[in-house]
Amino acid sequence: MSTLIAIAVDGIIYASWLFIIATGLTIVYGVMRILNMAHGSLYALGAYAAASLAGAWLQAGYPPMGSYVVLVASALLVGLVVGPLIERGLLRFCYGRDEVVLVLVTYALFLILEDLMKLVWGVEAWFVSEPYGLLGNVEFGPLSYPVYSAVMVVAAVVVGVGLRWGIYGTRQGKLLVAVIHDREVSAALGINVNRIYLVTFALGTTLAALGGALTAPTVSVVPGMGVETIVLAFAVVVIGGLGSMPGAAIGSLIVGLVRSSAVHLLPQVELFSIYLVMALVLAFRPRGLFVAVEARKI
Amino acid sequence: MTAILRTTGLTKTFGAVTAANALDVSVEAGSVVGLIGGNGAGKTTFINLVTGYLKPTSGRVHFDGLDITGQPPRLITRLGLCRSFQIPQVFDSLTAYENLLVGIGIVSMGRKAFIGSALGRQSPETVAEEMLQRFRLGAYRDQLASTLPEGVRKLLDIAMALAVKPRILLLDEPTSGVSADEKFTLMDLVLEAIRAENVTVLFVEHDMEVVRRYVHRILAFYEGRIIADGEPAAVMAHPDVRRYVVGEPVAGGEDAC
Amino acid sequence: MTSSRRTVQGLALALLAAGVAAPFLPRWAGFLVTIAIAKALVALGLLLLMRTGLVSFGQGLYFAIGAYSAGIGADTLKITDAVPMVLLGAFAAGLVALALGTLLARYRTIFFAMLSLAFSMILYGLLVKSSALGSTDGFNVSARTVFGLDPHGPVGRFGVYGLAALVAFLGAVGVDRYLRTHLGRLAPAIKDNELRVEYMGASVRNVVHLHLVMAAVLAGAGGALTALAVGHVDPETAYWTTSGEFVFVAILSGTSSVAAPFAGALILELLRSFAYEHAPNTWQLVMGGVMLSVILFLPEGLWSVFRRRRRSAP
């Protein structure tokens, strides 16, 4: 029984982490039709930024509770600076090209960002573990969890609710949905598609960085930490359906629960169980669980 | 004479929309049939159903007695039923010559699979050159298909459909996108090219002049149904056809067409 | 778009020269050429797939299968000669592609890339957790003879390098010839307009499946050769970044000639060894920058520069 609870709780925590990252990826694809292979690097960038800034904050002796704000602020910083830089400086020259070409462009970007981070932050690990331990632990019967894990879950919920409201409740959000459905018609109707792209990519970057920033206190921040994350994010968005936010949520839950089940019950299959699920979902639902309808070709 | 193409009760629904409604068609070998009707009337849907691109909701399609209902386009083509497309479907990164060579190459690979496969002793390359000449595409031989003018792409599309030696040819708006003075030239060319092989032709056409000139028989479509079927003069005078397809004469007694 | 006979002959000569010169080159150079050839073989398979309109982000799967099969062949089946090891690697990879292709051949564009990536990561996961295969450490591989000849003897010193050159020649000529057959000519047709190909009476799925198997066989051979040259296999061969590297070689080289991947892979390996020595933390930066430049300014790969100059001659 306690194993089941452990699986569920671990699964939800992991799913929350995945959701924050995967949502950014899926929104960028939905609006811009770009499957961003550098998304994992942006996640890592968020982690590094958080480690630096929150680390500096704590070193300077400011109130430790403020470090949580600094974590989020670092993510925002990355999202609002690096995001537009990439979109305006690189991506905008590639719009209209084949989707796979754009994937390759983002793959090249991933290579570049990985080394840039090594140049800026070096190859040694960075740590900023205080925010993690600060909140203490909570007991669930025989199981003990750090309260910090709840931060991840809360963040995921806030992101989910916030996005839902932002996209379906505001005018800007509705423009986003219009562009998701049809770029050309939206442009013809006078929607500033370029601005929407900029906003979307900045949003996606912020979310990836947020995932990284919130993760920073729980791990050692090292080069290459985005490399495994990106394939997990792919699994989630492909399972859920590219461009679908509810899909990202469901996909995160599925992957989270599958992984935690594997970890607790059958550790040998931990790594490949996620990709097996991804392959299985694709086998039966070639476009993921939540898909848009396709128009007639001839 | 048994019909070379016969559909019985052919129906296709997309949710609440009935694109094809119990179509009963019987076409004799060697005839030239025109399919007329407004946009969305069901003409292209009919072609899509017959050639296997769409699976009918109900009804059957028979080709020379053989039930081909629900078969994929690939197999129906091999049996000898081919089509051209409203928007020409060619290989943009290949030259006109290479386009034809691909099609003829497929035929030569499946010699046994193609009924009436008549490449005989000629090499595929020779046949491709010959088709280029027959369709007056020689000048465009080495040009990429993407750079060809629309009318030429149309011709190439039709030529490719013929490359697989069909017994029935379905042409979807062969003269659309072609300038008025070239429409007849194109149709003359196509029908001349297939004259020797007794190919049955059905073509969708909006231009009534073109229809009148070439067909023995007209099928008029409206909202998924066939509202008239017979000789050109009779069909054109049919009240429903006048109302929904051709147009009523202007008050004063003069014919609009 | 297809390579001229002269290019293929040039490639054959280059490979012959590489094979013959191998024993006289310093050990690192011979090793480098072998590794480059092995990678080029995988990229050659990608060339075939890309000409068919597909980009696989999972060729590492077959590369790893080739490498591990060679190793398992040596350990378990007690194979001691390099040639059957390479054959085994290529065959095993082809067999897996035959099975997976039934599913993979139905996918295109991003979904194809993602599904192929998923399969390679599945293998990675299996290999990492497999203690019998050495998990993350992998295990050592070596062959005692090549073509039955002792690698330390006078003729046998050609060793793995010569074998690699031979496989490369066969692979390149094979793919080149294939692309000129009626079946091979369907590749660009499928890439351009699958609907039309189906309407001409050919099965797109079957052709794609065939190409998947062919690319896998090439990748498997490359994997086995790499295992023999390096003397070691590990799960990293199946990781997605390895697959990414193959894609990089294919993009860099371009798909216009079967000789291109070999030139591209060689340049890449030379640059890499240089970069590792002098600037290990900027190697990926350079790679990424080069890749972007190629994608944006030379969409047909570096080879197209070479071709442009030749085209100006009648």
Q: Give the phi and the psi of residue B23 in degrees, each rounded to 5.
A: -80, 125
pLDDT(B205) > 70? yes
Strands B81-83 and B168-172, by their bridges, are parallel
pLDDT digits (tens, 9 = 90+) for A176-197: 888 877 778 888 888 888 888 9
Measured between CA atoms, how close is C163 to chain A, in angstroms? 33
Please tell me which residue of chain C has the smallest CA distance to B160.
Answer: C200
Write down the pLDDT at residue C1. Answer: 39
pLDDT(B246) > 70? yes
Cα Rg, chain B, nearest whole Å: 18
Write down the pLDDT at residue B119. Answer: 53
CB < 8 Å to B114, chain C: 201
Question: Does the CB of B101 have a partner CB in chain C at under 8 Å?
Answer: yes
CA C294 to chain centre: 20
**CA pair distance A103, A92, nearest whole angstrom:** 14
The type of residue at C32 is L
Please tell me which residue of chain C has the smallest CA distance to A241.
Answer: C111
- Phi and psi based region of residue C38 (left: phi greater than 0; alpha: psi -120 to 50; beta: remaining): alpha
Write down the pLDDT at residue A136. Answer: 82
What tokens does B58 get? 């109900």
pLDDT digits (tens, 9 = 90+) for A82-111: 999 999 999 989 888 888 889 999 999 999
Measured between CA atoms, how close is B131 to chain C, in angstroms? 16
Question: Does the CB of B175 have a partner CB in chain C at under 8 Å?
Answer: no
Probe site for chain A from C285, C297, C300 (most A CB atoms < 10 A): C285
Write down the pLDDT at residue C53. Answer: 93
Probe site for chain A from C52, C111, C122 (most A CB atoms < 10 A): C122
Minimum mean pLDDT range among A254-263, C84-93, C275-284: C275-284
Write down the pLDDT at residue B116. Answer: 38
Task: Name the burial class of residue C139, with classes exposed (0-12), middle (13-18) and buried (19+) by CB atoms within 10 angstroms of its CB.
Answer: middle
Under the banding of pLDDT at 50, 70 and 90, the label for residue C179 is: very high
Minimum mean pLDDT range among A183-187, B90-94, B124-128, C250-254: A183-187
Helix ranges restricted to H, chain B: 43-50, 73-79, 96-109, 124-134, 150-163, 180-195, 208-214, 232-237, 239-241
Cβ A275–C289 below 8 Å, yes or no? no
Under the banding of pLDDT at 50, 70 and 90, the label for residue B121 is: low
Q: Which residues of C touch A (CB under 8 A)?
A: 55, 103, 106-107, 109-111, 113-115, 117-119, 121-126, 128-129, 195, 240-241, 244, 247-248, 251, 281-285, 287-289, 291-292, 295-296
CB < 8 Å to C200, chain B: 77, 102-103, 106, 160, 163-164
Percentage of chain A exceeding pLDDT 90 = 51
Question: Does the CB of B113 have a partner CB in chain C at under 8 Å?
Answer: yes
Q: Which helix or strand (DSSP H or E) is residue A227 part of?
A: helix A225-240
CATH number at residue B104: 3.40.50.300
CB < 8 Å to B82, chain C: 199
pLDDT(C157) > 60? no
Write down the pLDDT at residue C304. Answer: 66
Per-residue burial over A96-108, b if 16 or more Cβ lie within 10 Å, else e, is eeeebbbbbbbbb
Give me the number of domains chain B comprises.
Answer: 1
Under the banding of pLDDT at 50, 70 and 90, the label for residue C309 is: low
Helix ranges restricted to H, chain C: 5-21, 27-51, 60-75, 82-104, 109-128, 159-179, 186-192, 194-199, 204-230, 240-253, 260-278, 283-297, 303-311
pLDDT(C314) > 70? no
CB < 8 Å to A251, chain C: none
**CA pair distance C161, C34, nearest whole angstrom:** 5
pLDDT higher for A177 or A231?
A231
Please tell me which residue of chain B has the smallest CA distance to C204.
Answer: B74
CB < 8 Å to B89, chain C: 193, 195-196, 199
Look at the block and give the residue holding tokens 């900027």: C282
Measured between CA atoms, how close is C225 to chain A, in angstroms? 26
Write down the pLDDT at residue A157. Answer: 94
Residue B225: strand pairing partners: B222
pLDDT(B120) > 80? no
ipTM score for this prediction: 0.87
Please tell me which residue of chain C has the smallest CA distance to B79.
Answer: C201
Under the banding of pLDDT at 50, 70 and 90, the label for residue C2 is: very low
Of A160, A213, A215, which Cα lies nearest the Cα of A14? A215
Question: Does the CB of B144 have a partner CB in chain C at under 8 Å?
Answer: no
Write down the pLDDT at residue C152. Answer: 64
**CA pair distance A191, A174, nearest whole angstrom:** 11
Neighbors of chain B by Cβ distance (3+ pairs < 8 Å): A, C
Residue B218: strand pairing partners: B34, B230
Strands B3-14 and B58-63, by their bridges, are antiparallel
Of A35, A107, A268, nearest to C244 by CB-CB distance is A107
Cβ A286–C107 below 8 Å, yes or no? yes
Write down the pLDDT at residue B257. Answer: 46
pLDDT(B57) > 80? yes
- The boundaries of the domain holding residue B122 are 3-246
**CA pair distance B138, B145, nearest whole angstrom:** 13
**CA pair distance A22, A24, nearest whole angstrom:** 5
Probe site for chain B from C190, C200, C206, C210 (most B CB atoms < 10 A): C200
**CA pair distance C276, C296, nearest whole angstrom:** 26
pLDDT digits (tens, 9 = 90+) for C10-52: 887 887 777 677 667 777 777 888 899 999 999 999 999 999 9
**CA pair distance A169, B42, nearest whole angstrom:** 40
Measured between CA atoms, how close is C144 to chain A, in angstroms? 34
Write down the pLDDT at residue C51. Answer: 94
Percentage of chain B exceeding pLDDT 70 = 91
Measured between CA atoms, how close is B226 to chain C, in angstroms? 26
pLDDT higher for A147 or C304?
A147
Contacts of C206 (CB under 8 A, 6+ apart): C105
**CA pair distance C312, C309, nearest whole angstrom:** 6
Mean pLDDT within B190-205: 85
Write down the pLDDT at residue B145. Answer: 94
Question: Does the CB of B44 have a partner CB in chain A at under 8 Å?
Answer: yes
How many DSSP H helices and E strands does chain B contain? Answer: 9, 10
Percentage of chain C exceeding pLDDT 90 = 52
pLDDT digits (tens, 9 = 90+) for A3-35: 888 899 899 999 999 999 999 999 999 889 899
Q: How many of the other CB atoms lie within 10 Å of CB of B241?
A: 21
Cα separations (Å) of C96 from A279, A282, C50, C75, C212? Answer: 15, 18, 20, 21, 10
Under the banding of pLDDT at 50, 70 and 90, the label for residue C311 is: very low
The type of residue at B194 is I
Q: Return the sign of the alpha-carbon dihedral for residues B107, B112, B118, B119.
A: positive
**CA pair distance C22, C40, nearest whole angstrom:** 18
Look at the block and give the residue holding tokens 């035959």: C98
Q: Return the sign of the alpha-carbon dihedral for residues C142, C148, C154, C157.
A: negative
Write out the E strands in A14-63. Answer: none
Q: What is chain C's mean pLDDT, rounded? A: 87
Contacts of C107 (CB under 8 A, 6+ apart): A282, A286, C115
Mean pLDDT within A141-157: 87
pLDDT(C305) > 70? no
Q: What is chain A's mean pLDDT, rounded? A: 89
CB < 8 Å to C109, chain A: 98-100
Return the percent helix, strand and coil in chain B, to nearest 5: 40, 25, 35
Mean pLDDT within A228-238: 92
Under the banding of pLDDT at 50, 70 and 90, the label for residue B150 is: confident
Minimum mean pLDDT range among A80-94, C195-209, C250-264: C250-264
Length of chain B: 257
**CA pair distance B102, B115, nearest whole angstrom:** 19
Q: Is the residue at B254 inside a domain? A: no
CB < 8 Å to A282, chain C: 107, 111, 114-115, 118
pLDDT(A216) > 50? yes
- Domain residue spans in chain A? 2-284
Question: Does the CB of A298 have a partner CB in chain B at under 8 Å?
Answer: yes
The type of residue at C269 is E
Of B188, B168, B170, B193, which Cα lies nearest the Cα of B178? B188
CB < 8 Å to A298, chain B: 44, 48, 53, 85-87, 89
Measured between CA atoms, how close is B141 to chain A, in angstroms? 26
Of B78, B91, B124, nearest to C201 by CB-CB distance is B78
Cα separations (Å) of A240 from A157, A234, A292? Answer: 17, 10, 12
Q: Is the residue at B253 inside a domain? A: no
pLDDT digits (tens, 9 = 90+) for A238-292: 999 988 889 999 999 999 999 999 999 888 888 789 999 998 998 888 888 887 6
Question: Does the CB of A1 have a partner CB in chain B at under 8 Å?
Answer: no
pLDDT(C113) > 70? yes
CB < 8 Å to C185, chain B: 98, 101-102, 105
Write down the pLDDT at residue B114. Answer: 39
The type of residue at B182 is E
pLDDT(B113) > 50? no
Cβ C289–A112 below 8 Å, yes or no? yes
Q: Which helix or strand (DSSP H or E) is residue B11 part of?
A: strand B3-14
Question: Does the CB of B86 have a partner CB in chain A at under 8 Å?
Answer: yes
Please tell me which residue of chain B has the smallest CA distance to C190.
Answer: B91
- We find that the CATH architecture of domain A2-284 is Orthogonal Bundle (1.10)
Neighbors of chain C by Cβ distance (3+ pairs < 8 Å): A, B
**CA pair distance B39, B20, nearest whole angstrom:** 13
pLDDT digits (tens, 9 = 90+) for B236-245: 888 888 888 7
| Residue B133 and residue B190 in contact, taking contact as beta carbons nearer than 8 Å | no
| Residue C101 and residue C213 in contact, taking contact as beta carbons nearer than 8 Å | yes
Neighbors of chain A by Cβ distance (3+ pairs < 8 Å): B, C
pLDDT digits (tens, 9 = 90+) for C133-148: 888 888 888 877 777 7
pLDDT higher for B107 or A210?
A210
CB < 8 Å to B103, chain C: 200
pLDDT(A204) > 70? yes
**CA pair distance C268, C307, nearest whole angstrom:** 19
Question: Does the CB of A293 have a partner CB in chain B at under 8 Å?
Answer: no
pLDDT(C215) > 60? yes
**CA pair distance C138, C136, nearest whole angstrom:** 6
Look at the block and give the residue holding tokens 């990678």: C39
Measured between CA atoms, how close is B252 to chain A, in angstroms? 41
Probe site for chain B from A98, A294, A297, A298 (most B CB atoms < 10 A): A298
Minimum mean pLDDT range among A101-110, A141-150, B143-152, B215-224: A141-150
Q: Is the residue at B251 inside a domain? A: no
